[in-house]
Amino acid sequence: MPHAPHIPQAMASSRSGHGDRWKYNPNVSFSRLVHFLYSFFVFPAAIFVLEVVG
């Protein structure tokens, strides 16, 4: 779960008043999307490679 470390950061920043900047930052959501796509595509690819090599 690559998203887990970001959750306490979001809660802490929203409590300190920077929640809006953090929430609507396009870079943050884009990096989350990249993390999701990365984990979504890399695991099947790794399994496929292991199947082919093995």
**pTM listed for this prediction:** 0.32
Nearest to 22 by CA among 2, 36, 6: 6
Nearest to 36 by CA among 4, 3, 7, 8: 3
CA R_g for the chain? 16
Residue 47 carries which side chain, given as an amino acid letter? Answer: I
Alpha-helical regions (H) of 1-54: 6-15, 19-23, 26-53
What pLDDT does residue 27 have?
A: 73
Per-residue pLDDT of the chain (54 residues; tens, 9 = 90+): 454 545 555 555 445 555 555 555 667 788 888 888 888 888 888 899 999 997
